[in-house]
Amino acid sequence: MSDRQPIIRRPGPLRFEGITASTLKSLQAFACDRALELDSEAVFADLSLGAWQGHAAAADMALQLGIPWQTTSADTLQPFTSSARIIARMIDNEALGNEGIIRALDLAGRIRSAAGAAGIRCFMILVPLPGISWQQQDIAFLSFLRHGGDDVLLVKTTPFADLPPGWCCNWTDAPGIAASPEEGDDLAIVPGIIAPAFAATLTRCSSGLSVRQGAFLIAPEHRRSPAAIPRSRFDRLAGVSNGWIGAYAQVHGTPYFVDPVVLCREASIRFGEGATDIALRLLQSAEARSESPAARAAVQSVAQGIRIASGRFSDAAALPAPPSSLPSEFRASLTLSKAWGLVMCDQPVIADRYLSEAARMLHGRAETIEYLYLMNITALNHFKAKDPSGALELEKNIERRLAAQPVTDWQMAYINHINQARLYRSIGDRAAAAHHYARAFLTCEGLRSETDRVYANVCLATVESRGGDQASAFAAWLRAAFHWLSLTVPEALNSRTVRAITGRSVPSEEVVEQVSAALARSLRSAAQTLGVTPRPRDGFRFSQPSSDLSVETAISGLGWGLLTSRNATPPVYDGGRYNELVAIAVGFALDGIDYPAATATLVVDDAFGRELPVTLAQSVESALRWGAETIAAAGQLITIDPTRKRELERALIVQISQGVAAFETVGNRNAVVHFKRYRSPLTLPEYETAVLRSASDGSTTVGALTAQFADVLTILRDLERLRVVRLSLPETAIHQSVSNTVG
């Protein structure tokens, strides 16, 4: 496994090898036949009892490979009507794309790297017992390992095993050897691979296998469905454990001993890990054991927020109407959450009744950001009820109220402008729609996620293609395709963007191919409108820039710019529709461009969360940023020799990134940077703080700072990478510096 292949995803069934081994001795006999040392050459994930922590399969493997495992800290779960911060996080999480898939790919890379260094030959996965569900995070993680060509062996202990959609397995029977005679003990009811520190807290009676790093694999014959285990055994386990194991034990133990506070705390952590199913499971148990109607309503309010955040709108809508005896805070929260679900399930008439009731109960908080979110979902309901003018009136009211707030709520501003753009588009006001889309994406300018990069251009292309500037529409579709084809995790594109491109909901396993096909159709259509014929070219790839990817030339066309590299990069995806779009996009990019003959990769530089170059100055900025020495633009080939490079770098203007919301000084030495969206506050060292203060007027050049600070460009490039500053070139510097370099 030391010679690892890249993780290249492909459409179609994902094929595994698997064995049926009902006992540990049977599993050991199989390994002996393969000359596989289980305790040193294999890494296990035991999902037989299901997952009770986020990314459970990866956590099991990390334990055996000595990789430190970090989880999120517990957050105070509140009804989402009580905290704009919670709703803001929901909005940002959606805009970031599917974080569970993104993290699964990252974990797969780390696990594979550590496994290769440790000489691991096989990943062995004990699949869930019948009736126990797989978790999406584990499906994604194991799929990435398999797409990388790793030996991922599925192990079932019964004749039946439910596999995730899109997986198929060639099952082989391991040698049939009788089970060990010992009875299962309390350690056998603990899910997953057992950490050595926890194993030491319980007397071990069950047979099992000591695996890497002192961890312990429970013998498969001692695993039983939790429903078949006496509750008293879970009560004992809960008494000696905490964290996710303690919560799991409480869920299956005697209801009398359930502590709803503990379950809510662990649900908060699971939700932070992206393990929504587990969080809701814990909250369901907490609700059942809550001692008063108010306590139950508090848990229900939290669960409703999680359902809405995860798109489970039908579940949110199905909640019974809250009784009038509840405290007003919880009644309002449950009423609004039910209404929210009804709106998203396209039941505007019923939703209106609950929205009106929620507005009445929250009237005393009409000046808060939370109330603006109520107005926003009400506006959406007006739109779904075929009342766009009523919806627009509400959104305009929200915009005025936001402008009067002392501190801008950037997530609310984003949603407000996105919704206004859609409304104006629906009534045919193209200019107003374009204006509000631009305002929406200014809230994440300098911070754009992979999803944002695609979605912003799709929105612009959609507006312009309907009677607007057709050349701009084509350029926007082309930029959207460039961004899409350079994504490291295209599977994580959020559902909002998928619908905007394809016009419908798409099953997760079909997203990459269906989005690629739809983008190809849109590109061809936009090109045909301009009388441009696509000339597809094979043999190229798209990639985001990186320090180990050398570039030679910056190329540009109308409304876009790219970099070329001779380095061949492996694709992240290899499918017919995806590859077809690559060929079409490359054809449009290279047609008529003087590019290096050995070019293998087109590099998509979004200037750290902004956009592709659309002007000559921005193409030069991109060339300076990543080391390109030539620029092919407007039929000219411009060479940037070392002298010109130094001149241009000195002319760079230092500005605070548009993604920065505010600076805060700590002890008059260190600056704390607060970002508008996505990113946590960043504390800068004293030296970098001093550089920022000297450039705070927005017009200071790198050359001016060179006299004050040593190696200032290196510092500024680090700050640019951190999304703190923007380095830009004025057009005058371009004309002065490159006018004599045309080759």
Quote the mean pLDDT of the chain: 91
3-state secondary structure of 116: helix
Half-sphere exposure of 23 (CA within 13 A, CB side): 12
Give this prediction's pTM: 0.93
Q: What is the pLDDT of residue 80?
A: 55
Lowest mean pLDDT among 202-216, 218-232, 282-296, 669-683: 202-216
Element (H, E) at 664: strand 660-666
Structure token digits, residue 142: 């194991």
Place of tokens 């081994």: 21
pLDDT tens per residue across span 254-281: 998 899 999 999 999 999 899 999 999 9
Residue 146 clears pLDDT 50, i.e. is over it? yes
pLDDT at residue 3 in the model: 61
User: How high is the pLDDT of residue 78?
Assistant: 63
pLDDT tens track for 415-454: 999 999 999 999 999 999 999 999 999 999 999 999 999 9
Token pair in block for residue 236: 């004992």
pLDDT grade for 177, boundaries at 50, 70 and 90? confident
Note whether 594 and 603 are within 8 A (CB): no
Model confidence at 742, in pLDDT bands (50, 70, 90)? very low
Tokens of 109: 């890379």
pLDDT at 340: 95
**695: helix, strand or coil:** coil
pLDDT at 71: 74
SS3 of residue 737 by DSSP: helix
Give bridge partners of residue 664 from the DSSP assignment.
672
Which parts of 5-130 fold into alpha helices (H)?
24-33, 38-41, 56-65, 84-95, 99-118
Residue 341: which residues within 8 A CB-CB, separation 6 or more?
Answer: 304, 307, 308, 313, 314, 315, 316, 317, 318, 319
Tens-place pLDDT, residues 581-611 = 999 999 999 987 877 778 999 999 999 999 9
- What is the CA angle 301-281-490, rounded to 5? 90
Please, are residues 584 and 534 in contact by the beta-carbon 8 Å criterion?
yes
End-to-end CA distance of the chain: 49
Q: What are phi and psi of 173, to 5 degrees?
A: -80, 125
Average pLDDT for residues 22-44, to the nearest whole number? 93
Q: How far is CA 430 from CA 461, 462, 502, 661, 717, in A?
A: 11, 10, 21, 30, 38
Please answer whether residues 684 and 671 qualify as being in contact, where contact means their C-beta atoms are separated by less than 8 angstroms: yes
Count, residues in the chain = 743
Would you tell me the crossing angle of helices 430-442 and 410-426 to the nearest 10 degrees?
A: 160
Q: Which of helix, strand or coil describes residue 397?
A: helix
Q: Is the pLDDT of residue 615 over 60?
A: yes
pLDDT for 81: 56
What mean pLDDT do residues 524-534 have? 93
Which residues, in sequence order, are bridge partners of residue 612? none
Closest CA to 504 of 493, 518, 483, 490: 518
For 54-107, what is each residue's pLDDT tens digit? 999 999 999 999 999 987 665 655 665 556 777 888 899 999 999 999 999 999
Mean pLDDT value across residues 296-318: 92
Lowest mean pLDDT among 334-343, 352-361, 599-608, 692-701: 692-701
* Of the listed ranges 162-176, 182-196, 384-398, 691-705, the one predicted with least confidence: 182-196
pLDDT of residue 697: 86
**Average pLDDT in the 276-290 region?**
94
Question: Tokens 């898939």 appear where?
Answer: 101
Domains of the chain: 14-225 (no CATH), 644-743 (3.90.930)
What tens digit of pLDDT does each residue of 641-671 get?
Answer: 999 999 999 999 999 999 999 988 777 688 8
Reported confidence tier of residue 743, pLDDT bands at 50, 70, 90: very low
In contact, 80 and 436? CB cutoff 8 Å: no
Tokens of 620: 């030069």
Residue 187 predicted with pLDDT over 90: no
Render the burial of 479-492: b for 16+ CB within 10 Å, e for the rest: bbbbbbbbbebbbb
Going by their DSSP bridges, the two strands 152-156 and 14-20 should be labelled as parallel
